[in-house]
Amino acid sequence: MIKTIATTPYSDQKPGTSGLRKRVTHFQQTNYVENFIQALFDSLPDKDGETLVIGGDGRFFNDTVIQIAIRMAAANGFGKVIVGQGGVLSTPGASHIIRHYNASGGIVLSASHNPGGPDGDFGIKYNGTNGGPAAEKITDAVYARSKEITQYKTVDTPDIDLSTIGVETVAGMSVEIIDPVADYAALMETLFDFDAIAAMFASGFRMQFDAMHAVTGPYAKAIIEGRLGAPAGTVINAVPLPDFGGGHPDPNLVHAKDLYDLLMGADAPDFGAASDGDGDRNLIIGRNRFVTPSDSLALLAANAHLAPGYSRGIAGIARSMPTSAAADRVAEKLGIEMHETPTGWKFFGNLLDAGRVTICGEESAGTGSDHVREKDGVWAVLLWLNILAVRKQSVDEIVREHWATYGRNYYSRHDYEEVDAEAANRLMADLRAKLPELKANGLAGRQIVLADDFAYSDPVDGSQTNGQGIRIGFADGSRIVFRLSGTGTVGATLRVYIERYEPADGDHDRETQEALSDLIVLADEVAEIKARTGRDVPTVIT
Ligand code: G6P
Ligand code: ZN
């Protein structure tokens, strides 16, 4: 039944940090999907009789690619595939399924927070047996193979019905359709005190979770409204749609503005949260209190011991370099390891596998722990709920107490999107060249204690990653970081991360942009942002 089909290679199938991500129309080119999946299968050491997990965030084209992947898995010798019902698995959900069923890996179909639909984006990502994004060694091999591929293997069978839970057979390979939520919900139940959270809801705690018509809808419905007993309507936009209802499933203050306005309004519920297209990002807003991702990481790390899954304490914390140093102060106080890694979740994998860290986070709205090998939006929301249920305080009170203990890291990111790529590269190069002089002479009368281009040496496998962003650190703990985005699609995106430390007994009530205003001026002076980009103001401020 196995058919070998001739094909011609594409030259642009280089996976990025989160797999191969392109427009749907790009993936619809002849054999584009088949080539990439065959290149992937050709690059894996073990396939014979192995188990492969397949699922995605439900966006347009998901179903088509799943059918292709199932047939090709059968033709390439896999013993079994596990598929989420309806083809749906959140990214952290897929990570858990891979680990839980000892699969050799998984194919995750998503373009994360990018819009979906026929004119939107699509993506194919491979996660390895630890449940985390494939190491560069594999993605490099896939790319190399994709450039020379001449044929792919498939089987001639009808489409599998993905809507019914159960086991089917495709050309001798077993296909198990599973409930996408059940195993994940069971895992959450081992980590969090569901009774305490349910009691909090029963006593009138009000929450709004915006699933943004994306993959976390079924997860949040089943867990928050189902197992935790929150009133119906707590989870909104809960039905995943192929085009996310025409929205942009990115849980930030721009695309989740309605949620933000609700939480800042007169009749605000106690707690608001949202997640992105594939369920790995999170947004946390208390009544009249937005929590930055950097602060959320620090708060979750400081309070994790209140949840049963972390009651013995955490081994260490890791954060991406541009994420604020708020978590570092928690690690210092707890006397545990703290790691600063390059941007991208994959850099946490080795530290988690080695048991060196338990909780990780990034300023780009990702938080997670060693329970899976992806960041996890619903997990972050449940840990917050567990903390709220135990401390019986509002988000605002908890945040303020945290600042009064550790101090506050005022923090903001200024993005200059779609700037001329050459101008952006030159800005970075010229700034890099200035670093020794800055270190020696300071800037505008301020002493500079750190001026470098961030390089990371992985303490577990010794691998070295260079050129990860320019750091300028001042003696008072303030910091300016310059980085070019690795995920932009048009031109270059310059990200400027600005941070100022205000000690525990200082003023924690200033408006963020105002508190950072002198550093914002310095950032422009030292990098000549306005002059070189031709932009007077950032396109996005978060
Ligand atoms: C993706 C990755 C994150 C990373 C982010 C950075 O979302 O999954 O781990 O933090 O990209 O994006 P940037 O545009 O700043 O390179
Ligand atoms: Zn995502």
The DSSP code for 308 is: G
Ligand 2 centroid, distance to 113 Cα (angstroms): 5
Which of 307, 311, 313, 312 lies closest to 389 in space, CA to CA? 307
Buried b (16+ CB within 10 A) or exposed e, 128-152: bbbbbbbbeebbebbbebbeebeeb
When pLDDT is cut at 50, 70 and 90, the band that residue 136 belongs to is confident
Residue 135 confidence (pLDDT)? 84
What are the respective helix, strand and coil percentages of the chain, to the nearest 5? 35, 25, 40
Model confidence pLDDT, tens digit, residues 36-87: 999 999 999 889 999 999 999 999 999 999 999 999 999 999 999 999 999 9
The CA distance from 290 to 284, in Å, is 7
Ligand 1 centroid, distance to 281 Cα (angstroms): 10
Is residue 120 within 8 Å of residue 60, measured between CB atoms? yes
The mean-pLDDT minimum among 185-199, 265-279, 295-309, 485-499 falls in: 485-499
Ligand 2 centroid, distance to 366 Cα (angstroms): 8
Global pTM reads 0.95
% pLDDT > 90, the chain: 94
366-369 and 173-178: which strand pairing? Answer: unpaired
Q: How far is CA 119 from CA 11, 56, 57, in A?
A: 22, 18, 16
Residue of the CA atom closest to atom 13 of ligand 1: 485
Model confidence pLDDT, tens digit, residues 138-162: 999 999 999 999 999 999 999 999 9
Mean pLDDT over 260-279 rounds to 97
The mean-pLDDT minimum among 14-18, 111-115, 273-277 falls in: 14-18
Question: Which ligand 1 atom is at minimum distance from the Cα of 280?
Answer: 8
163: pLDDT strictly greater than 90: yes
Residue 489 confidence (pLDDT)? 65
Residue 158 confidence (pLDDT)? 94
363 CB near ligand 1 (under 6 Å): no
Mean pLDDT over 225-252 rounds to 96
When pLDDT is cut at 50, 70 and 90, the band that residue 6 belongs to is very high
Task: State yes or no: ipTM above 0.90.
Answer: yes
Mean pLDDT over 280-293 rounds to 97
Computed over every residue of the chain, the mean pLDDT equals 96
Is residue 190 within 8 Å of residue 91, measured between CB atoms? no
Residue 46 confidence (pLDDT)? 84
Model confidence pLDDT, tens digit, residues 330-382: 999 999 999 999 999 989 999 999 999 999 999 999 999 999 999 999 999 99
To test the pocket of ligand 1, the residue of 345, 367, 456 to mutate (highest count of ligand atoms within 8 Å of its CB) is: 345
- Complete domains list, the chain, with CATH: 2-179 (3.40.120.10), 184-406 (3.40.120.10), 408-541 (3.30.310.50)
Which of 91, 155, 93 lies closest to 126 in space, CA to CA? 91
Residue 393: both structure tokens together: 């305080």
Question: Which ligand 1 atom is at minimum distance from the Cα of 488?
Answer: 14
